[in-house]
Amino acid sequence: MVYTKRNPALLIIGLIMVGIWAAAEFNLMQGYIAHLGGKKYKYASELTTIPLWFGVIAVVAGLWQMLGSHKDGNLDYYGSTIAGAMFILLIAMLVRWFIAPEVAVFSKTLGKVGNTGKYWHKLLGLNYVVIGILVGIIIVNVFRIPAWAQNGVRLSRLGLKTGVILLGTLYSAAELRNLGGLSIVMIGFFVLGSVGMVLWLGARRNIPNSMGGVLSAGMGVCGVSATVASAPVVQAKSVEIAYTIGTILLWGVGCMFLFPIIGNVLNMSHTQFGAWAGTGILNSAQVAGAALAYQPDGIETLKVAEIFNITRVLVLPIIVLWLAVWYVKREDTGENEKVNVGRVIFAKFPIFVLGFILLFALSTTGIFAPPLHYKGKYFDNTKPKTMLTAEEKKVLTDNAGKVKLKARKEALQRLIANGKIMSIEDDTQIRGLANSKVMGKKSGKILKKAHKAVRHTAKKIKAFRKWITWLFAFGLVGLGMQITVKSMRQAGGQPAVIGGIVGFVKASLSLVVVLFLISDKI
C-alpha cells in the first residue's frame, strides 16, 4: 500500500509558513504586531526563524509528494507522515503567535476580574497550549482530519515523548531526588488509594470484575493510557472500555480547564500546582496540558508535573501485573492461567523514560552546561559581562555600613575590591543582599547587575527549553486531534458514577495535601 497522497496541502502549508516568515522579516506585519502588544509581544524572534526552517522543509517535501513517484516501502510510509506533522505544527504556530495573543488583547479590553488582579485569559488559563488543544478537538470533531494528514497526526505522541526526554536536561540532581521522592510518596498513596477505592466501590455496586479492573487502572494510574494497557489483561468488554475511556476523557478535559483556574485563584506556586496536576488529574495528557496552561512561558510547573507523569507510567506495569493476578484469581477460570511477570513488565515498560534518564545523566556530566547549572544558568566570573565602575563602587562603599550580616558584608567587600563577584558563594550572598533591599534602590540595582554579569545562560540548555516548549505544543495540539466527542459521549453507566466519585475525592484530597504539605520550592 502506498501511503503518500498526491495532494497540494503540504506545499500550501509550506508556502503559508514561508509567507509568515517573509511578512515578519520584511516588517510587513508591524502594525499587527503593535496591535498584539508591540514591544511586549514575545514571539518576534521566533517569527523570523522557525517558519522559515519548517516552511522550506514543507515546500520541498510538498513538491516531492506531488511530483515524485511513490512506491510501497519505508520511505513512503515515513514520508507520508510529514504532511500531518506540518499541519499540526502550522496550527501550533498560528495559535501561539496570533490566536492566543489576540485572545489576550481582547481579554485586556474586558479589564481585570474583580479583586483578583488578573485578566480573564490569565485566570482561565487561555493561552496557546489550551487554545491549541481546543483547536485540535474542534478540527477532529467538526471538520475531521483530512486523509492526507491522518498518518502524521500520530506523530504527536512522538513529540510529547521527545519533549519529556529533553526535559531530562533541565533537572539538577537535587531537584530530581526531591521531586522523585515526593512523587513516589504522592503517586504511591493516591494510585493505590484510588485503585482500592474503585475496586471497593465496584464490589459494592456489583460491577463485573473486568469493569472494575479496567476502571481502577484508568482512574488510579494514568487515565486512557492505563485503560489501553489493562483492558486486554482483565478482558474488559467493549462497552466497559467505551464507558471508561469516555469518562476519563470527559473528566480529563474538564480538569485541564478547571485546575489552572483553581490554581490561579489559590495563587499556588509552580511546584504546588505541578504536584497537584500530576496527582489529581486522571489522564496523563491533560497533566502536561494543565501544567503548560498554568505556566505557558516557563517550564518549572511542567518539570514538576512530568516527574509525576513519569512516576505514574513507571507504576503502570506494576498495576497491570497486579490486576492480571487479581483478575485471574477472582475469575477463577479453572484453566490454570499463569501471569507471565517478565513479559508484562517488558511489554509495558516505557522506553522513553530511559531516554529521559540518559539525558539527565549526560546533563550532570556538564556536556550541555557546567555541572552546577541551575535552570541552564551557571556561575563563571572569568569572563564577566561587565565590571563595576568607580562610581558604582563608591555607591556601594557609601552604603556598606547598612549591611549587618557578616557573610554578606565580606562578600560585598570582595565585590568592591575586585569589581566582580569572586565566587559562587559570594554570588549567593550578593543576590540575597540585593533582594533584601537594605542598601537602598540604587545599590540594589548595582548588586543585581554584578550578579547578572557572572551568571551565564548555557546556549544548549536555552535551545533545549525552546525545543521542549515547541515539542509539547506540537504534541498537545496533535493529542487534541485524537479526542473525539463520540468517545467522550460514551461516558456513562457505573464507570461515570464511580469515576466521578473517585476523581473528585482524588482531586480534592491531593489539593489539600499539596497546599498543606508542599512548600513553594523543591
Partner 1 sequence: MSREGNNGALATGHLSSAGLSALLAGNARVLLASHGTEGAQAAEEAAISICKTWPASSIHHLVIVPKSLWHGMTGDDWLNNGSTRNTFRRYVESTLQKEIDEHLSALSKKIERDGIDYTNQVVVGEPEASLIAAADRNRYDLVLMGSPRPKGRSGLKSRLRPEVLVKSLPIPLLIIPYPD
Our finding on whether 228 is near partner 1 (CB under 8 A) is yes
- Residue 314, judged by CB atoms within 10 A of its CB (0-12, 13-18, 19+), counts as middle
Our finding on whether 225 is near partner 1 (CB under 8 A) is yes
CA-CA distance, 519 to 490, in Å (whole number)?
A: 40
At 158, list the grid cell: 512522538
Please state, as a whole number, how many other Cβ atoms lie within 10 Å of the Cβ of residue 25: 15
β-bridge mates for residue 289, sequence order: none
Smallest gap from residue 26 Cβ to partner 1 (A): 39
Residues 335-374 that bind partner 1 (CB under 8 A): 347-351
CA-CA distance, 284 to 279, in Å (whole number)?
A: 10
Smallest gap from residue 350 Cβ to partner 1 (A): 6
Three-state DSSP string of 274-337 = HHHHHHHCCCHHHHHHHHHHHCCCCCHHHHHHHHHHHHHHHHHHHHHHHHHHHHHHHHCCCCCC
Going through 114-230 in order, the beta strands assigned E by DSSP cover none
Please state, as a whole number, how many other Cβ atoms lie within 10 Å of the Cβ of residue 347: 11
CB-nearer residue toward partner 1: 436 or 487: 487
Please state, as a whole number, how many other Cβ atoms lie within 10 Å of the Cβ of residue 336: 6
Taking CB under 8 A as the binding criterion, the range among 165-173, 231-239, 257-265, 427-435 that sits at the site for partner 1 is: 231-239
How far is C-alpha 340 from the chain's CA centre? 34
353 vs 206, 288, 412, CA distance in Å?
A: 38, 16, 45
Choose which of 4, 309, 399, 429 interacts with partner 1 (CB under 8 A).
Answer: 309
CB-nearer residue toward partner 1: 10 or 344: 344
CB-nearer residue toward partner 1: 53 or 349: 349
Q: Kind and range of the H or E element at 58?
A: helix 50-67
Smallest gap from residue 236 Cβ to partner 1 (A): 8
Smallest gap from residue 491 Cβ to partner 1 (A): 9
CB-nearer residue toward partner 1: 239 or 512: 239
Choose which of 132, 480, 499, 503 interacts with partner 1 (CB under 8 A).
Answer: 480
CA-CA distance, 268 to 351, in Å (whole number)?
A: 33
Our finding on whether 80 is near partner 1 (CB under 8 A) is no
Our finding on whether 92 is near partner 1 (CB under 8 A) is no
Q: Work out the angle at residue 440's Cα, subtended by the Cα atoms of residues 437 and 446, and round it to the nearest 5 degrees.
A: 85
Smallest gap from residue 218 Cβ to partner 1 (A): 10
Choose which of 4, 295, 469, 482 interacts with partner 1 (CB under 8 A).
Answer: 482
Smallest gap from residue 239 Cβ to partner 1 (A): 6
Residues 241-280 that bind partner 1 (CB under 8 A): 241-242, 245, 248-249, 252
Our finding on whether 229 is near partner 1 (CB under 8 A) is yes
How many chain residues touch partner 1 (CB under 8 A)? 49
How far is C-alpha 120 from the chain's CA centre? 22
Rg (CA), the chain: 26
Residues 120-179 that bind partner 1 (CB under 8 A): 156-157, 160-161
Our finding on whether 216 is near partner 1 (CB under 8 A) is no
Choose which of 6, 205, 459, 486 interacts with partner 1 (CB under 8 A).
Answer: 486
By CB under 8 A, name the binding residues for partner 1: 156-157, 160-161, 222-225, 227-229, 231-232, 235-239, 241-242, 245, 248-249, 252, 283-286, 309, 312-313, 316, 347-351, 475, 479-480, 482-484, 486-487, 489-490, 492-493
